[in-house]
Amino acid sequence: MFPIYFSLLLIISALPRALSTSSWAVPSSERVIAIRSQRDVSANVTIDQLSLMGVGLSMTVFDREGYVSSALSDIRDLLDTGVQVLAVDLYWHEQLRKFQLCPYPLNSSYSLNATQTFKSKDGREIKCQSSLRLTDLAETVHSYLTDTDTNLSANLIILLFNILSISDTSSDVESAQIGTSNDTLSSVLLNYFDAKIYTPDGLNNDRSNGITYNALSQTSSTGWPTTSHFLFSEKRRLLAASSDANMPSNTTYQKSWDVSTVFNSTFLENTVTTANASSPSNSTERALESWRLDFGSGSDTFTTSLFSEAIAWGYSPVINSTSDDFTTLIGGFMNESLWSWAPSQPLSQYEARRISTDSDDTSQSAFSCGSLSVSEKKWQVSNCYADKHVACRLNNSTPFRWAVTVDKFSYFHAEDACADIPKSRYVSDASSMAKNATYIFSVPKSALEQKALNDLLSNANLNATDVWIDMNSIAIPDCWVTGGAYANCPYKKVSSHRNFVEMLTPSAVFCGVLLLGIMALRLRRVPIHDNRKYWKKLVNEYAESEYDGVPS
């Protein structure tokens, strides 16, 4: 019953948006499940180590659509399909002392709903609506956070603001209304996101309480909270950072206004371009860097292969493109935006069985287990009964130490196979440590952990097509979990057949006793009617003892 209910819930939750958006903006059920399971497997990974898809709104959305209110629907569509980093140029009007999204000084004599047109340096026309403000962008993000604030859908959203200066010395500015304290970046963010935004003050508090960690899962005074703690313990959803490196020295904008709410430019210190995204080459060294953002190079920043490579290297690539074909542009990158599952995965059990290439001699099948494809370097759905090599993690060590069994096992024997290392045959990237070490059946929990495992497989010479990882949906279809073959879905307590019988037995016994009692009462008549002759004699004797009339 619940598998059907769980699938229906996924469909119903997407209907309101499906009816009001273009088809590309409605993620498939496979993508919804893939996004959720990747988030869940990264529960104990710190938020600065997540690899997320980003979009530069100014170039990709506003320059194409115009700085108009209709462009906000594209931003909502991006959020719905899994974009978690939004970068935007934010212009500080030096004379009016307020922020605007349009890169040109707006004529304040125009009505609020008026649209002004400007010529860009490359000759393109840029439309700007006078009424479009930072608060409109905040409202769009706030609406998304409200709609997805559930255990099934909650995720981290990052807002990156590139603060630039804009001036207008025309005469009509003198009569325009000057901005107030409510127009600062900090005030807008707090007004719309309040307890949902994670601030520098909040980070300092977590660090002082010892609940921040580095990439090696060690408590660190310079670390960050884990994804699970951030989303579900603190119930945060948003983090904002800004850079004012290009602001003039005489600007009227003051950094002190936002210092307690918005992370400063040090947050972006590990930003790179695609040209140097592969250095350093070691996963452990790369993990020591926080918030790895890749803005590409040039105007059209990424090809799909470069984008996929950036994700695999643990970066969060941010797309900046002026392409008019927005649907094709975003759709192509969406397929490569997850470091975990391959495109169109995880397949349904039926579809996985239909296209399966497993050649194992077994009549049993249960396409509810995950394996790591050696060629695609991402996860796929496989038959749990098929024999494959097993990926094992070196226990009590860094997250990047892996071993793979030389022999093959079914998914149900994978845990025992890892426990037998180093007694059994295996290949490892830490052979010198393996003699006295223990291994556990595991799954990569971040892009860099997966890269370390993929690097091992590339050099292992196992002639394998895929290897088992600790990921399955055996308990509940479409609910992918870790913890071995008997792990339960966290979103629904699973009732086994035995539990179901145990729940029914007391009720069945009670109903049976009650039914037997009713039948016994119907078969046995009331005792006073059992002997009708005695009853009639008793009535007559009583009648004779009564007096006629009133006694004297």
Each residue of 39-52: pLDDT tens digit?
999 999 999 999 99
* Token pair belonging to 41: 């497997």
Q: What is the CA radius of gyration of the chain?
A: 33
Q: Are residues 253 and 386 in the same domain?
A: no
Q: Does residue 5 lie in a domain region?
A: no
Residue 109 inside a domain? The answer is: yes
Range in 219-228, 388-397, 433-442, 533-542 the model is least confident about: 533-542
pLDDT of residue 410: 97
For 106, what's the count of Cα atoms within 13 Å in the CB-facing half-sphere? 31
Examine the pLDDT at 281 and tell me if it is beyond 70.
Answer: no
Are residues 195 and 185 in contact, defined by beta-carbon separation less than 8 angstroms?
A: no
Choose among 491, 434, 396: nearest CA to 151. 491
Is 56 a domain residue? yes
Among left, alpha and beta (phi > 0; psi -120 to 50; other), residue 324 is alpha
Number of compact structural domains in the chain: 3
According to DSSP, the β-strands at 125-129 and 115-119 are antiparallel
87 CB-contact burial (10 Å; exposed 0-12 / middle 13-18 / buried 19+): buried
pLDDT tens for 477-509 read 999 999 999 999 998 765 544 444 455 556 666
Answer whether residue 341 is part of any domain: no
Helix axes 134-147, 72-80, angle to 10 degrees: 30
Is the distance from CB of 319 to CB of 301 less than 8 angstroms?
yes
At 255 the pLDDT is 85
* Helix, strand, or coil (residue 538): helix
Confidence class for position 356, pLDDT limits 50, 70, 90: confident
Listed range (81-85, 333-337, 414-418, 458-462) with the worst mean pLDDT? 458-462
Rounded CA separation 48/225 (Å): 8
In this structure, the answer to whether residues 331 and 458 fall within a common structural domain is no
Quote the pLDDT of residue 266: 79
> What contacts 64, CB < 8 A, 6 or more positions away?
322, 323, 324, 326
CA atoms within a 13 Å half-sphere pointing along the CA-CB vector of 217: 13
pLDDT band at 462 (very low <50, low <70, confident <90, very high): confident
Phi, psi of 342 (to 5 degrees): -70, 160
Asked if 43 and 108 count as a contact pair (C-beta separation under 8 A), the reply is no
pLDDT at residue number 160: 96
Query: Quick one: residue 377, left, alpha or beta (phi over 0 = left, psi -120 to 50 = alpha)?
Result: left
In percent, the amount of the chain with pLDDT more than 90 equals 56
- 116 and 236 share one domain: yes
Give the list of residues 6+ apart from residue 20 with CB closer than 8 angstroms, or none. Answer: none
Q: 370 pLDDT exceeds 60?
A: yes
| Mean per-residue pLDDT over the chain, rounded | 84
How far, in Å, CA of 419 to CA of 104, rounded? 64
Are 434 and 382 in the same domain? yes
Domain membership of residue 20 (yes or no) is no
pLDDT tens-digit profile of 290-332? 999 998 765 556 889 999 999 999 999 999 887 778 888 888 8
Distance CA 311, CA 294 (A): 9
- Pair 159, 256 in one domain: yes
How far is the C-alpha of 493 from the C-alpha of 242, rounded, in Å?
Answer: 43
Q: Give 188 or 9, the one with higher predicted confidence.
A: 188
Q: What is residue 247's DSSP assignment?
A: S
Task: Give the tokens for residue 21.
Answer: 């958006």
Binning pLDDT at 50, 70 and 90, where does residue 7 land? very low
Q: List residues bridging with 373 in a β-sheet.
A: 466
d(CA 47, CA 198) in angstroms, rounded, equals 11
3-state secondary structure string across 385-449:
CCCEEEEEEECCCCCCCEEEECCCECHHHHHHHHHCCCCCCEEECCHHHCCCCCEEECCCCCHHH
pLDDT, position 177: 56
pLDDT at 515 exceeding the cut of 50: yes
pLDDT at 517 over 50: yes
Q: Quick count: other Cβ atoms within 10 Å of Cβ 397?
A: 14
Please tell me the predicted confidence (pLDDT) of residue 430.
Answer: 62
Look at residue 176 in the predicted model and tell me its pLDDT. Answer: 52
pLDDT 10s digits, 108-153: 655 667 889 998 888 889 999 988 999 999 999 999 999 999 999 9
Per-residue pLDDT averaged across 354-369, rounded? 76
Q: What is the CATH number of the domain that holds 138?
A: 3.20.20
Q: For residue range 437-452, what is the model confidence (pLDDT) as tens digits? A: 789 999 999 999 999 9
Q: What is the mean pLDDT of residues 245-270?
A: 87
Same domain, yes or no: 454 and 322: no
Task: Check whether residue 93 and residue 236 sit in a common domain.
Answer: yes
In a domain, 552, yes or no: no
Residue that finishes a domain, picked among 419, 449, 482: 482
Does 533 reside within a domain? no
211 SS3 class: coil
Same domain, 36 and 185: yes
Q: Are residues 287 and 381 in the same domain?
A: no
Cβ–Cβ < 8 Å for 243, 162: yes
Is the pLDDT higher at 158 or at 273? 158
242-255 tens-digit pLDDT: 998 899 999 999 88
Question: Taking residues 229-243, what's their average pLDDT?
Answer: 97
The pLDDT, as a whole number, for residue 542 is 62
Distance CA 424, CA 500 (A): 40
Domain of 513, in residue numbers: 496-523
* Residues 86 and 159 occupy one common structural domain: yes
pLDDT, position 169: 67
pLDDT of 11: 44
Q: What angle do CA 305, 311, 312 make, to 5 degrees?
A: 85
Q: Does residue 11 fall inside a structural domain?
A: no
Of 464-478, 490-504, 508-522, the least confident: 490-504
Query: Residues 312, 457: one domain?
Result: no
In tens, the pLDDT along 537-546 reads 666 766 666 5
In terms of domains, do 325 and 284 share one? yes
Residue 77 CB neighbour total at 10 angstroms: 21
